[in-house]
A and B are shown apart, each in its own frame.
Chain A
Amino acid sequence: MKLRRRTFLAAAGCLAGGIGLSTMAGRAHATPAELSVALKKVTGGATLRPGRVTLEIPPLVENGNSVPLSVVVESPMTTVNHVRAIHVFAEKNPLPNVISIYLGPRSGRARIATRVRLADTQKVLAVAEMSDGSFWSDSRDVTVTLAACTEAVI
């Protein structure tokens, strides 16, 4: 898993006060407060690290009404080392915590696929909660092409 600067910033921004990250968080203006609150509910303020998670979502979507996404987490999925949950956040949705899916060793593999609605062009963040209490993440920018078409008339 590549550690891209953008992912790092997004993750840092979401944390709002993660140890040693507050300066970076201050710069990541794109992340609204609601997302930080929603994210904190999930992580309890624990450090969010980029990596181990792959979020697949199209970079461009027509209207955002039904967007396919999948999340895969690297994990052996054993009793001692597995993914406890996968959470997806969309910073510009009215309810940023789009979905939380709880897994266990019996899930076999840590992969989920679903469809979500995206209210606007935005960053989508996937967070994996591991059995050792660590949190890992990946994020992607999604452009809703129709957003530009309707912004002007509303």
Chain B
Amino acid sequence: MSTNANVIKGRTGDWEIVMGLEIHAQVASNSKLFSGAAVGFGAGPNEQVSLVDAAFPGMLPVLNRYCVEQAVRTGLGLKAQINLKSRFDRKNYFYPDLPQGYQISQFEFPIVGEGEVLVERDDGSSFTVGIERLHLEQDAGKSIHDLDPDATYVDLNRSGTALMEIVSRPHIRTAAEAAAYVKKVRAILVTLGTCDGDMEKGNLRADVNVSVCRVGGYDKFRESGDFSHLGTRCEIKNVNSYRFIQQAIEHEARRQIEILEDGGKIDQETRLFDPVKVETRSMRSKEEAMDYRYFPDPDLLPLVIDAAWVKEIEASLPELPDAKKARLQSQYGLSAYDAGVLTGDAALAAFFETAAVGRNAKLVANWTNNELSAQLALAGLSFDASPIPPKDIAELVELIEKETISSKIAKQVFEHMWAGEGSPAAIVETRGLVQVTDTGAIEAVVDRLIEANPGQAAAVKDKPQAIGWFVGQVMKEMAGKANPAAVNAILKAKLGI
């Protein structure tokens, strides 16, 4: 179980990190979780706010069916237990961007229970992260601190937007694993269409619970389920990029180890990551320990969903990343690596599958995953917006398959395609790039070269690798259009090796 664990050397011995993540994913809905106000980005201050969102007296919540459906959908995507009966609770605390003075969330009975996510590491190995639960809850508004030195401005547009909070088990061991886990969950959400996954806009945010323990503590925890084998955790709130997740974890682990090695004790607290100073700092003093006083929201009744509805949702699920990767490997004979690359980008995979019809799929994957992918990235385009359509990549591969052009010439053809010169067949035609397989033409060139270079020809008999020099010369004379296999065969015959 300890494989790939990140052992950190301390002054007094080795340590390991253990992490659990809480991912907040905004549901891609039209309206808010409990009100009919619009959800969106970029509206003017308080323009997407109803009197429910601003918690006016006597305003009441009414639950959005679509948000429930998306939570169920996501739960199914996480291979999780769907709870047909769940409940909304209030989490009470005061903050200017929390108008009700409480957040409506699901504490005791979440809509989604235990599940799991298979996560791939960069080296191709994988690990499983247990999902403890997924629940629906309201987002808070936004406090803007830099518009006025003496006041805070509050915009409630985000207030009441539906979030899915996905809580993992503490099964994550390195900063890289944490980032890989978030990436994988994001891919599942985006595939399901339940969250747009836009981390820059804050539509997907992670809270990281970090603790450190002596090497071996984690294994004991996994064997016994006893949390006392782990250290005291600190929660780092709202880390909004893969890079920040890694930096925050690395900093926080070092901070905790230093305290412990100095004989200190970790306070369980909430910390904030400062991406400028690259450090975490305490958000609340211990004296102000939060007591959220959760209790069932009396404005709402128990949420009961129909098993038949869950079945219907299940039947409508798209192919999820794990299944897709497996299918791409088996159906197209792709390597795990290529299938993984394709799975990571739905538009790329769709492009690939369109281009691969009737073609050598490995060749198609080479072109989509390498040349085209690189050019699109440089141009800042996604595969949806590729100026080269899938049928042109298919045609290019077909030209290679039929030996009309060599792989080397294909690279030139691709450059012309990218430059907008038309279909690969037309480019090959107008530029005269057709591969010469006519043995007569090749033989003529070979005869001429042997005659002109008797010394080289003799040397090849003792040192067959020297044939490469002749191949190069033939190719040069024929401007790269000669079929390399034919050239080799003819040379071998004529040189008598």
Q: Do A and B come from one complex?
A: no
Binding site for A on B (CB under 8 A): none
A residues with a Cβ closer than 8 A to B are none
